[in-house]
Structure 1
Amino acid sequence: MLLGGLWGRCHVGRCAFFLILALLLDALGLVLLLLGIFAVLSYWDFLVYTGALILAFSLVFWVIWYSLNIEVSPEKLDL
């Protein structure tokens, strides 16, 4: 049995653009951060700080993606 079968259907939601953007920013930030930590470069601090800022900025897109995918039934909205 697949893991997706345990909890229901797996899908990215209605806002795949924000998910892809958040994943790309996570990957870029992680690469810059690790490059700044492990590479012997004279500008390592720029890479570490830039990677950390990009990772922090990606959280904005994760929150947007999550917020736009919340489903509330019309009965709970009292419409």
Structure 2
Amino acid sequence: MLLGGPWGRCSPGRCAFLLVLALLLDALGLVLLLLGIFALLDYWDFLVYSGSLIMAFSLLFWIIWYSLNIRLPLEKLDL
């Protein structure tokens, strides 16, 4: 029981919009990256670089989503 929650429960947390945005950016970046690698196109380098940048940009949304879902009891804040 990591972090005190039951193993069988899965929820997107308080910021579901950020989670969906991060997942969409990951999917779009992966599609562009793989298209640039495996398709025989003249502009393959644009697809590889833009896919990589989109996936790197999605990390920002993953970090924000994770940070906003951290729950800390008031007793541990030492106010």
Query: With structure 2 as the length reference, what TM-score do the two structures score?
Result: 0.90
**Partner residue in 2 for 1:17:** 17
Q: Which runs of 5+ in 2 are unaligned?
A: 1-5
**Partner residue in 2 for 1:50:** 50
Per-residue displacement from partner, 1:50-78 (whole Å, max 9, x unpaired)? 00000000000000000000000000012
Moved over 4 A (4+): none
Per-residue displacement from partner, 1:10-44 (whole Å, max 9, x unpaired)? 10000000000000000000000000000000000
Query: With structure 1 as the length reference, what TM-score do the two structures score?
Result: 0.90
Superposed CA RMSD: 1.0
Q: Which runs of 5+ in 1 are unaligned?
A: 1-5
Q: Secondary structure at the match of 1:40?
A: coil
Q: Which amino acid aligns with 2:41?
A: L
Fraction of identical pairs, as percent: 78
1:8 positional shift: 4.2
